[in-house]
Every structure is written in structure tokens, then in C-alpha cells.
Amino acid sequence: MPSSYAKGDGKVKRLFEDYVPIEESYFRDTGIFPIMHTLAIRRDVYEANRWIAQSLTKAFCAAQKETYADLYQTAALKVMLPWLIAHVEETRHELGDDFWPYGLEKNRKTLSTFLRYSFEQGLSKRLLQPEELFVPEALESFRI
């Protein structure tokens, strides 16, 4: 039986050794691939600079766009993985071109499921809605 921790060394290990096919199967069955990271702004910083939420959203989206493009540069690979392009192509085949989607709408199903689990397991006092996780400025876009 796999353990989530190695004995005695304190290192975190994967729950499943053969995690890739398990995660692919879960995604095919549910349409959900777990979110890896979130971005939070300290309340006092946000309240003093409400524009910061939209600016950070735009900056992260621009960086993501560049990163996706960089993964397909074959003249000089960004990392020393011999089958990097094959991995990128397989990921896009399984998860689509935007395999780490940002924002509310692209993550609504995942966030709703996460929030439901959180409530059912007693981690939240009430069932939150995905919209409650975003400040209004992170959901709007303006061009001047």
C-alpha cells in the first residue's frame, strides 16, 4: 500500500505510483484536473489598490501565454527533457491547449466541486459559490 510520506525521511511522496494514467482517467471521467496554485492578495493591499487584482490577472495571463508558446519552441528547448515536445503534445491532446486555465469561468466546475467537497468535509461552514473566491476586478477587463 503506497504511503503519502516516506518512512522517516519526511519527504512527501505521491499517493499513487502510476499517477499519470490515474489523473488522465479522472480528467476524462469528470472534466476536472485539480488546480495547482491560487493567487491571493492581502485584503489591506487590495482595498488600498483595487486596480491590482485586474493588473495581476492580466500579467499572469500574459506570462501564461508566453509560457505556452515557449513549450513548443523546438530550436532550443526550455528544459532538458528529451521528449518535451511529445509530453506537451500529449498534454494538449488530453487536456486541450489551455491545460492550466485561469479565471472563474474556465474553472467553474473544478471550483464548484472543490467548494462542495470542502463543505461536505466540514472545512467550510457553508457551501460557498465560485464567484465568492474572486474580487470583481479580477473578473472584468477594460481597454483604454
Q: What is the pLDDT along the chain (144 residues), one digit of tens a residue?
A: 344 444 557 788 888 899 999 999 999 999 999 887 888 999 999 999 999 999 999 999 999 999 999 888 878 777 888 888 899 999 999 999 999 999 999 999 999 999 999 999 999 999 999 999 999 988 876 555
Is residue 144 in some structural domain?
A: yes
Q: Indicate if 108 and 95 belong to the same structural domain.
A: no
Distance CA 67, CA 65 (A): 5
Other Cβ atoms closer than 10 A to 127? 11
pTM of the model: 0.78
Structural domains counted in the chain: 2
- pLDDT score for 31: 94
* Residue 26 falls inside a structural domain: no
Q: Give the pLDDT score at 120.
A: 98
Q: Is residue 64 assigned to a domain?
A: yes
How many CB atoms are located within 10 Å of the residue 33 CB?
Answer: 19
* Nearest of 82, 62, 84, 64 to residue 73 by alpha carbon: 84
- Give a yes or no: residue 20 inside a domain: no
Domain with 116, as residue range(s), is 103-144
Chain centroid to CA 92: 15
Q: What is the pLDDT of residue 80?
A: 84
Residues 75 and 113 in one domain: no
Residue 142 counted as domain residue: yes
Q: What is the pLDDT of residue 2?
A: 43
Question: CA 53 to CA 59: how far, in whole Å?
Answer: 10
From 82, 100, 118, the end of a domain falls on: 100
Q: Is residue 85 part of a domain?
A: yes
E strands within the chain?
Answer: none
pLDDT at 8: 56
Residue 73 cell numbers, joined: 519552441
Q: Is residue 7 part of a domain?
A: no
Domain assignment present for 39: no
Phi, psi of 5 (to 5 degrees): -130, 140
